[in-house]
Amino acid sequence: MRPFRHRRLTAVVALATMLVTAAPPTAAGADDSRNRRAGYHRVGYFTQWGIYGRAFPVKKLDTSGAASRLTHVNYAFGNVSEDGRCFVDGGPGEGDAWADYQRPVPAEESVDGVADTWGEPLNGNFGQLAKLKAKHPGLQVLISLGGWSWSTYFSNAARTDASRKAFVASCIDLYLKGNLPVLDGGSGGQGAAAGVFDGIDLDWEWPNWPGEPGNVVRPEDRQNFTELVAEFRRQLDAYGRTTRRHHPLTAFLPANPATMDAGYEGREIFRYLDFATVQGYDFHGAWDPVTNQQSALRVPSGAPDNPDFSAEVAIDGWLARGAPREKLVLGIPYYGRGWTGVSGSGNGLFQPATGPAPATFEAGYEDYRRLKTLAGNGFTVHRDLRAGHAWLFDGTTFWTYDDPAVVLQKTLYIRRAGLAGAMVWSLDGDDDNATLTKTIGLGLATP
């Protein structure tokens, strides 16, 4: 690292430390040194589809330096069938087995520089994750089940004791034991992916609460989610007695207090989870008629909504419902939310807009690696140091996003609040130097 950059980063650390320690205590912030952790989880989601438009193969986790800063990689996503089973299928809307383990990865994209051969049992992303783990033996990889698009039938899987047992068994068989369906050409087979995945991440969005249109939702989802995580814990422990290893179980949890109450028995689920990642983003977006923050650490002064969302509100919500702080991991976005047609005056915050800002893959959604190039190129960076958020504005278009200074401030909050660490969605949004992931590594470094 160049001396100038080192001095600049040191100044940012000092400023962020002052801001976090000077803030009035809340349920999360009023912790003492007895609860500060010696080590932190640093969790990153790797998206199955990132190898396409974003040109983000597993190898980039190694070459960028991200892998050495992470403790866990969550692979997004595994699907849940209507009859409540984990499954891999290359059919439209069902999955992408080609990306998962069929695609022959060329040498230039391979972690070890060796090209795959057509029809090998384990090609694609799964094969590359195995190579990444061989190079970084402390790294754990979890299969994340569900997500926004594939939570449709979680309720079916969790509905009865029999359905839960069958669902959990199918997931362990498919992912941990690695018994993959055999595809055209020969990829897959018994034990083909054994050792790739260390555990399970449950990303049910959401129990007893609307998610994507068409999701099955039942009032009994709340209790059934507890029973589901208990069943996962029982079967993972039983499997662990055969492997002589602990297989982690985690879950992604919402930021909305109403969703927390509808779908989760807060204290109970943490009896079975190693830790949970808490949504720290998508608080606002172009679905709102005025510009706003999507991932602020605290609710900004003058916010038009009351009550409003923030990272601190989300963490405080889980603490108030009995979650142990040492099992809460704060989610951090590697993307921004944007509006265009912004009117009004000032710096663009809390102003009317006409719709989502144009973007590379999805209107109103842009990766950090692209947003960082806007600063100084017609856009001005604005900050609310007290609330812990930043935005870009050019007089017409507005982007709310997390840059290294905001990310560092959040890591210092995590330390002060005695939380378990940080999670990011998603790793392919970072730049080629893994700037945001390295910032998390710096902020959560242990002596």
Residue 328, token pair as written in the block: 């809460």
- CATH architecture for residues 33-334+402-443: Alpha-Beta Barrel (3.20)
Residue 108 among the catalytic residues:
no
159 contact partners, CB below 8 Å, separation of at least 6: 84, 218, 220, 224
Domain spans, the chain: 33-334+402-443
CA distance 123 to 10: 43
CA distance 256 to 250: 19
Catalytic residue among 120, 205, 227, 265: 205
Residue 431, token pair as written in the block: 């730049």
50 contact partners, CB below 8 Å, separation of at least 6: 56, 57, 426, 427, 428
Q: What is the pLDDT of residue 447?
A: 77
Which residue in 58, 246, 54, 228 sits closest to 218, CA to CA?
Answer: 228
Q: What is the pLDDT of residue 14?
A: 47
Taking the model in full, what pTM does it have?
Answer: 0.93
Q: What is the pLDDT of residue 29?
A: 52
Secondary structure E strands in 256-322 = 275-278
CA distance 31 to 39: 17
CB 79 within 8 A of CB 144: no
CA distance 439 to 402: 11
The two beta strands, 249-253 and 275-278, are parallel
The two beta strands, 41-47 and 365-367, are unpaired
Report residue 255: phi and psi, to 5°. -95, -20
Q: What is the pLDDT of residue 27?
A: 54
Residues of the chain predicted below pLDDT 50: 1-14, 16-25, 30-37
Q: What is the pLDDT of residue 90?
A: 79
432 contact partners, CB below 8 Å, separation of at least 6: 60, 64, 369
Q: What is the pLDDT of residue 327?
A: 98
